[in-house]
Amino acid sequence: MAYNLNQVAMISGLTTRTLRSYLKMGILQGEKIDGNWCFTEEDLSAFLDRPAVRQASSAKRNALIYDFLGDTYKKANRICTILDFPVSAEEAKDISSFFCEEITKRGQDIEFRFFSAGQLWRVILSGAEDAVTDILSAYYRQ
């Protein structure tokens, strides 16, 4: 699967602006196809394995959880859920692809992080209650 710039932003927690800067600096590698950036699994993996990127991405994913917990003024039902998958790297690619495609397809207010946590692959989803539960339902129905 190829990832687009928005999907790399979802996974890493970094903004598309930051990712564009990384592209200019050569830290992030990708290919521009029909005016849109495309990234292979290998591009994404190499990028996320860089120490500075790993540190920035870790801070963003932790902030996602802390911000959710710290926001006591929510005006609508929201969910933040963490899923751990003890799967191979190959299976992890399928999981990542599924969540990226579902979130992109739905275009809803959902934040997504995906990363390796030791021998687990971890998914963090945060957003509107109905949107997150719909995506989780779709995952478990497949």
94 in Cβ contact with 101 (< 8 Å)? no
**What pLDDT, on a 0 to 100 scale, did the predictor assign at position 138?**
95
- Neighbouring residues of 10: CB distance < 8 A, sequence distance ≥ 6: 100, 103, 111, 112, 113
**What pLDDT, on a 0 to 100 scale, did the predictor assign at position 60?**
86
**What pLDDT, on a 0 to 100 scale, did the predictor assign at position 46?**
92
**What pLDDT, on a 0 to 100 scale, did the predictor assign at position 79?**
95
**What pLDDT, on a 0 to 100 scale, did the predictor assign at position 127?**
94
Q: Round to whole Å and give the CA distance between 109 and 92.
A: 23
Q: CA torsion sign, 6 to 8 to 14 to 16?
A: negative
Instruction: State the 10-residue block means of pLDDT for the chain, 142 residues long.
Output: 88 93 95 93 90 89 91 93 93 91 85 87 93 95 92
**What pLDDT, on a 0 to 100 scale, did the predictor assign at position 61?**
85
- Neighbouring residues of 7: CB distance < 8 A, sequence distance ≥ 6: 100, 104
**What pLDDT, on a 0 to 100 scale, did the predictor assign at position 135?**
95
